[in-house]
């Protein structure tokens, strides 16, 4: 990156409203300046009005996640994110996975060795079971 933002001749600072991946709420402002599109002949592209640019939670979500264990449904398929490494998470086995967008915050006592502010990753079937159990009022499934 150079010493500053190269302004776009057509769009100036070329701002975009950054959205929280977790809740979809406004999080920050991203200043792009000049965007050169690699696909096609467009050399001065307008930034999207809104976008999710990372997995960092907004302040509201950060506070929610501190209340319990943040359990995130993940998949090995990163095509939704263009396989962008900014959106991947590293699992305990060392593999890189991508969040699907579904998550829950569980009470720490609901997870063995659960600590407030902790994070866990799970597959679709586990998340389905957790959400079904919560919907049914916490009935245990054998």
Mean pLDDT for the chain overall: 86
Q: What is the pLDDT of residue 141?
A: 43
Nearest to 15 by CA among 35, 34, 30: 30
Higher pLDDT residue, 77 or 138? Answer: 77
pLDDT (mean) for 74-90: 93
Q: What is the pTM of this model?
A: 0.78
* Structural domain boundaries enclosing 28: 1-54
* Same domain assignment for residues 77 and 47: no
Q: What is the pLDDT of residue 119?
A: 87
Task: Give the count of domains, the chain.
Answer: 2
Is the four-CA dihedral 129, 130, 132, 137 of positive or negative sign? positive
* Rounded-to-integer distance, Cα 51 and Cα 45, Å: 15
Q: What is the pLDDT of residue 108?
A: 79
pLDDT per residue as tens digits for the range 97-142 = 999 999 999 887 777 777 788 888 999 999 999 888 877 765 544 4
* Same domain assignment for residues 124 and 84: yes
Is the four-CA dihedral 106, 112, 114, 118 of positive or negative sign? negative
Position 38 in a domain: yes
pLDDT-derived band at 41 (thresholds 50, 70, 90) equals: low
* Same domain assignment for residues 35 and 73: no
Q: Percent of the chain beyond pLDDT 90?
A: 54
110 Cβ neighbours under 8 A, 6+ residues apart: 68, 69
HSE, CB side, 13 Å, CA atoms: give it for residue 83: 2
Position 142 in a domain: no
Is the separation of the CB atoms in 45 and 36 below 8 Å?
Answer: yes
* Rounded-to-integer distance, Cα 121 and Cα 138, Å: 21
Position 18 in a domain: yes
Q: What is the pLDDT of residue 23?
A: 96
* Same domain assignment for residues 74 and 125: yes
Q: What is the pLDDT of residue 120?
A: 87
Tokens representing 8 are 């776009």
């Amino acid at each position: 990156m150079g010493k500053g933002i190269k302004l776009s001749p057509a769009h100036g600072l070329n701002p975009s409203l950054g959205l929280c991946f977790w809740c979809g709420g406004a999080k920050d402002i991203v200043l792009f300046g000049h965007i050169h599109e690699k696909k096609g002949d467009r050399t001065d592209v307008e930034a999207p009005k809104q976008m999710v640019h990372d997995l960092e939670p907004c302040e509201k979500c950060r506070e929610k996640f501190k209340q319990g264990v943040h359990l995130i449904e993940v998949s090995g398929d990163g095509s939704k994110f263009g396989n962008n490494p900014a959106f991947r998470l590293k699992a305990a086995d060392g593999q890189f996975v991508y969040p699907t967008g579904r998550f829950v915050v569980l009470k720490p006592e609901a997870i063995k060795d659960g600590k407030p502010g902790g994070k866990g990753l799970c597959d679709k079937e586990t998340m389905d079971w957790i959400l079904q159990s919560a919907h049914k009022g916490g009935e245990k499934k054998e």
